[in-house]
Amino acid sequence: MKRLLVFPLFLCGALSVIVSADAQQPARPTARTGATGTVLAIGNMAYTEIDALDRDRTLFLLPVGMLEEHGPHLPIASDLIGVEYEAGQVAKRVSRSLPGWNVIVMPTINYGATGANQLNGLPIHPGTYAIRQSTLRAMVADIGAEIVRNRFKWVFVLNGHGAPPHHVAVNEACDFISEVFNATMVNVSGLFTGDSTMRAQGVRIAGKHFSPAELSSIGLDLHAGVAETSGMLALRPDLVRRSYRTLPNVRAESVTEMRDIAGRPGWQGYWSSPARATAGYGRDIEAWWINGMTDVILRAVRGENMLQRPRHPDILLGDTAVVGLIERSGQPEREFEQQLERWLTQRRKTR
Among the listed residues 138, 170, 135, 131, the one whose alpha carbon sits nearest the alpha carbon of residue 312: 170
Say how far apart CA 341 and CA 240 lie, in whole Å. Answer: 41
Structural domain count, the chain: 1
Residue 56 lies in a domain: yes
Per-residue confidence (pLDDT) for residue 23, from 0 to 100 = 41
CA distances from 117 to 1, 36, 166, 269 (A): 11, 43, 14, 7
Task: Return the amino acid letter for 93.
Answer: R
pLDDT digits (tens, 9 = 90+) for 12-27: 443 333 233 344 443 3
pLDDT digits (tens, 9 = 90+) for 106-160: 999 999 999 999 988 888 999 999 999 999 999 999 999 999 999 999 999 999 9
Residues of the chain with pLDDT under 50: 3, 5-34
- pTM, full prediction: 0.91
CATH code at position 163: 3.40.50.10310
Among the listed residues 13, 73, 68, 11, the one whose alpha carbon sits nearest the alpha carbon of residue 227: 13
Say how far apart CA 247 and CA 239 lie, in whole Å. Answer: 16
Residue 26 lies in a domain: no
Residue 228 lies in a domain: yes
Per-residue confidence (pLDDT) for residue 35, from 0 to 100 = 63
Residue 14 lies in a domain: no
**Can the peptide bond before residue 313 be classed as cis, meaning omega within 30 degrees of 0?**
yes
Residue 252 exposed, middle or buried by CB count within 10 Å (0-12, 13-18, 19+): buried
E strand map for 90-146: 102-105
Residue 28 lies in a domain: no
Per-residue confidence (pLDDT) for residue 2, from 0 to 100 = 62
Say how far apart CA 107 and CA 61 lie, in whole Å. Answer: 9
Give the domain extent around 168: 38-349
Instruction: Using the CB atoms, write b or e for 48-86: b if 16+ within 10 Å.
Output: eebeebeeeebbbbbbbbbbbbbbebbbbbbbbbbbbbb
Residue 55 lies in a domain: yes
Residue 165 lies in a domain: yes
Per-residue confidence (pLDDT) for residue 1, from 0 to 100 = 61
Residue 11 lies in a domain: no
